[in-house]
Chain A
Amino acid sequence: MATKQAQALGKWALAPSVAVLAAWSFVPLALTLYFAFLRYNLQDPDNTGWAGFSNFYYFFKDPYFLKDLANTLLLVGGIIITTVVGGVFLALLLDQPFWGRGIVRLLMISPFFIMPTVSSLVWKNLLMHPVFGLFAGIQKYFGAQEAIDWFGRYPLLSVGIIVSWQWLPYAALILLTALQSLDEEQKDAAAMDGAPAISFFRYIILPHLSRPITVVILIETIFLLNIFAEIKVTSVGGFAGNLTYLVFSQLNDATDVGMAAAGGLVAVVLANIVSVFLVRIVGKNLEA
């Protein structure tokens, strides 16, 4: 047990972090809440005063709102399904013994370290370009008349592919770590009993992975709700924008602080729904 002296010191050692985090988490939020009820446009400084709920009203009536909300949910949902299913597969694969495991592991984890702006531009130009891109080249090699214009015709899907590529290694790495903590003896016992691979996966691996999968889903959701650079840099905000992008464009293009703040609050509410569950799971683990 810590001494009294250490306890007293500990209290004060904690204080600076608590203060800055409290300021960081409450002040911007409170200001956003305040701005959301103001008439406040950067281009129109004379138009001030309380706006009541009209910012929310117009934000919800904005034709982009429903579309961008749907895009947000589609992106989050699609990417999570892709990365978790792919991640389980990759983790199982990497858990097998084979030659060059270390190198393959490095190759697979690499996309996660790529800056979002880099991966967006590389994918958009070098790979997905409708004329010179590699995908177009492959399609033409197999005799297609006209290659798919990825960002022109399927902007949302294209963004989803890029972000999935970035987050697949994350899911795989974490599930692999969890898989490696599975008891060797349990595996041996199952192998000795002659358990077929499918039921081994169904009754031993999947239950063991259920908690890591939940953690991956929740943490990815937190990050994926905020996809921004991929949309901005590939200039598909008008077609495949999400809520984060909508808030940005309200601030940047429409310079309407009030509306942007109202949108920011919607994003906060969405993120909070997820974070409640995540915090609870992490909290349970903390006690164990």
Chain B
Amino acid sequence: MARKISNRRKLLTTIIAWVIGLLLFFPIFWTAVAAFKTESDAYTLPQNWLSTPWTLENFGIVQERSNYFRYVFNTSVIVILSTLLGLVFAIPAAWSMAFAPNPEGGSKISSLGWLGIVLGSLAICFVALYFNNWKPTNAVIGILLLFIFVVPASLWAWSRNTHNMLLWMLSTKMMPPAGALIPIYLIFNRNGLVFRDWGWANWGDYNIMDSFWGMVPLMTLLNLPIVIWMLFTYFKEIPVGILEAARMDGASLWNELSRVLTPMALPGIASTCLLNLILSWNEAFWSLNLTNKYAAPLSFFISEYSSPEGQFWAKLSAASMMAIAPILIIGWFSQKQLVRGLTFGAVK
């Protein structure tokens, strides 16, 4: 039974809510209006919208000057490929944790096994050092890191139970980019000493700085924890009973996955894609640091307007509208699903 609310109170709430809503939206509205004005009109206050000669020329100028469509293309390539790549990794992982969980931690590695892993890693490091005439150059340090950290860490993580595995994946999202910026920057940049010292400079001009080869995997990794989490919460809601019924009826594992699970999982996958799309479309830290021309996305394109010459507000507004419009519309449609993805399921 809903409480009865007087019309007068409803009217009051309506007014307050609309005023606040319009105020919060106002900067976007103001930008949209300025995008259709001439430069000198954009600077004029108070504005007179009746006498303003509305124009579309700003959009043309923006395209002509800085080739907007190339940035849209770049953003789309990064966003779409990284989303697809993310799904390739995340769907099996989320499926595994939701439907075949390991409550007590699956592949337990015995203490002898761990000893073997550690000794093996050390042995490989020594071999690497030996072939490098006992000089600890960066190449050797790279191999060292790989074996000292990544292999044991993967095995350790892999032997966790599902609960801890999920939390560990979440914690990887919390590393601040400032902590990873330096190595990533140097690895991406062939002029950085890392490649020079590692002797990998023989790859010639191969350089993943400012290229899709660098940005797409990076964007995938940035969002992978969120994608896995969100898919996991969606998969969790699919009743296991249906799967069991299919199994009872003699469906093979493949049929169970493709005929029963996939159709039920599709809506969840779709909204995960939308969230990933929004996050990577708006990503700015890595885009500003690692791109400047060939793979530069829209956030870089807009940042070019931070040091312009002459009057530029109308052009800035036009460029801004073109950069945010697609994602704003997608965001409006997917706002309900966002909550789930952005709180790691902690608020439903």
Which stretch in A24-32, A58-66, A152-160 binds the other chain? Answer: A24-32
10 contacts between A and B (CB under 8 A): A11-B96, A14-B92, A18-B157, A93-B13, A113-B328, A114-B282, A115-B327, A235-B307, A248-B289, A268-B175
Q: Which residue on B lies nearest to A271, using beta carbons?
A: B176
Among A209-268, those with CB < 8 Å from B are 211-212, 215-216, 219, 222, 225-226, 228-229, 232-235, 243-244, 247-248, 251, 257, 260-261, 263-265, 267-268
Other-chain contact of B167, A14, A109, A279 (Cβ < 8 Å): A279
Q: Is B284 an interface residue (CB 8 A)?
A: yes
Verify A25–B172 contact, CB threshold 8 A: yes
Q: How far is the CA of A3 from the CA of B178 in the complex (A)?
A: 44
Q: How far is the CA of A111 from the CA of B331 in the complex (A)?
A: 10
What B residues does A285 contact at CB under 8 A?
A: 345-346
Contacts A28-B183, A104-B18 known; A5 to B171 CB distance under 8 Å? no
Among B294-315, those with CB < 8 Å from A are 298-300, 302-303, 305-307, 313
- The number of A-B residue pairs with CB atoms under 8 Å apart is 370
Verify A97–B99 contact, CB threshold 8 A: no
Interface residues of A (CB under 8 A from B): 2-3, 5-7, 9-11, 13-32, 34-35, 40, 42, 45, 90, 93-94, 96-101, 103-123, 125-127, 132, 134, 136-137, 140-141, 165, 168-170, 173-174, 177-178, 181, 184, 187-188, 191, 211-212, 215-216, 219, 222, 225-226, 228-229, 232-235, 243-244, 247-248, 251, 257, 260-261, 263-265, 267-268, 270-272, 274-275, 278-279, 281-283, 285-287
13 extra A-B contacts, CB within 8 A, seeds A117-B300, A141-B46: A3-B253, A14-B165, A25-B153, A26-B145, A26-B149, A27-B146, A27-B150, A31-B182, A32-B180, A115-B282, A126-B313, A174-B347, A226-B176
Q: How far is the CA of A264 from the CA of B285 in the complex (A)?
A: 14
Verify A14–B145 contact, CB threshold 8 A: no
Question: What is the interface size of chain B, counting residues whose CB is below 8 A from a CB of the partner?
Answer: 114
Instruction: Give the shortest distance, in Å, between B86 (CB) and chain A (any CB).
Output: 10
Verify B303–A117 contact, CB threshold 8 A: yes
Among B159-213, those with CB < 8 Å from A are 163, 165-167, 169-186, 192-193
A contact face: mostly helix, strand, loop, or mixed: helix
B contact face: mostly helix, strand, loop, or mixed: helix
Q: Is B228 an interface residue (CB 8 A)?
A: yes
Q: How far is the CA of A287 from the CA of B166 in the complex (A)?
A: 12
Contacts A11-B106, A137-B45 known; A251 to B182 CB distance under 8 Å? yes
Verify B174–A115 contact, CB threshold 8 A: no
Q: How far is the CA of A178 from the CA of B323 in the complex (A)?
A: 32
Other-chain contact of B172, A2, A21, A32, A174 (Cβ < 8 Å): A21
